[in-house]
Amino acid sequence: MENYAIEVKDVSKGFKTFELRRSGSFFHRLWRKRSWKQALSNVSFRVKEGEIVALLGRNGSGKSTLVKILSGILHPDSGSVRVLGFEPWKDRIKLAARLGVVLGAHSQLFWNISARDSFEFMKGVYSINEREYSQRLKYYLKVLSLGEVFNRQVRSLSLGEQMKCNFVASILHKPKIVFLDEPTIGVDLPSKIALRNAVLDLRAREGTTFILTTHIVEDITMAERVILLNNGSIVFDGSRKQLESMFGDKKHVELRLEEGSAVDFRRYGKLIEKSGDVVKIEVNKSTLKNQRFLRMLNDKSVLDYRVAEPGLNFVLTKFYAKMDRKR
């Protein structure tokens, strides 16, 4: 029997919003226009223990509202939610000790003291005994390559160092579920890699469940499952590979052309980008077997070429465009 960390069934949530009138007299514009924003509509899904799930969607798609409901900050208008067996908004205090939250734009560290002092504060908040605290801190410092960085004042740390220390502060109490909201925004590449490795290592060692919300495509590679929200509804729920294969009939061909080349590459596909002597076109899979296309690749003015699968960023852009056409 499967053990589920999160169970969401038919959840809906809406908000009243207000807009100032933009026309009319000064006093007329002081009156606010009321409207209703449906943030979530009949959302249902389940997350197994130890899963890493990427929750994706454009701004206003309902991601933040859903995470707030899962963590007990908001309650839905209808539907049911169970997180680790608890109803989040009713059992918020009990659930809080079992959750970790890493917010890319907000830190849990105290600005004017060392990261170590912030860790000590978290130790007291979550009643972590000295032995466990020392063991966990030693492990996290090693995995994230923090060295003696955590002994320095937080305000003196680089953004990457702050994010890694913030991650430690969020998981010191060994949470069962961790919400990662834009965890690598503005972070340097080595720190991004360290954070991803730490997530994967924690899942392997402790079976931690991770829910990741991000706009950074590289972060999605750590998730094996993707839930895509659009206008408050789930429009895709499946593996990352399934999402990438949705536009699998397309290929990207990158050509490096000789200066002044007269090769008519546009007849075979859509131009995606052009930079100097390098062009990238999108072609149908069947085009790769077209004899005229193959002869074009062998033209002497084509200095080099490369065929690749469309990246996840491209796939998501196509997916959103498809959703817009359906509206």
Query: Looking at the chain, how many residues does it have?
Result: 327
Q: Which residues contact 162 (CB under 8 A, 6 or more apart)?
A: 107, 109, 154
Average pLDDT over residues 21-29: 61
Q: Is the pLDDT of residue 326 over 80?
A: no
Q: What sign does the CA torsion over 284, 289, 291, 293 have? A: positive
Number of C-beta neighbours around residue 300 at 10 A: 8
Mean pLDDT of the chain: 86
Going along the chain from its start, the domains and CATH numbers come out as: 4-11+42-244 (3.40.50.300), 249-308 (3.30.70)
Q: What is the pLDDT of residue 90?
A: 92
Percent of the chain with pLDDT over 90: 37
To 5 degrees, how large is the angle CA 213–CA 217–CA 219? 60
Residue 23's nearest CA partner among 31, 14, 34, 11 is 31
Asked if residue 277 has pLDDT above 90, the reply is: no
Q: Quick one: pLDDT band at residue 13, thresholds 50, 70, 90?
A: very high
Q: Strands 99-103 and 250-257, how do they pair?
A: unpaired
Distance CA 68, CA 73 (A): 5
- Give the residue from 264, 260, 250, 256 showing the smallest Cα distance to 310: 250
Most confident listed range (213-217, 299-303, 309-313)? 299-303
Span 147-163, mean pLDDT? Answer: 87
Q: Which residue has the higher pLDDT, 7 or 282?
A: 7
β pairing state of 52-56 and 177-181: unpaired
Q: Is 315 helix (H, G, I), strand (E, B) or coil?
A: helix
Write the pLDDT tens digit of every residue in 89-140: 999 889 989 999 887 667 788 989 999 999 999 999 999 999 999 999 999 8
> pLDDT tens, 203-258?
999 999 999 988 777 778 888 899 999 889 998 999 888 877 776 677 888 899 98
**Residue 221: per-residue pLDDT:** 81
DSSP H helices, 126-229, are 130-143, 159-171, 189-206, 217-220
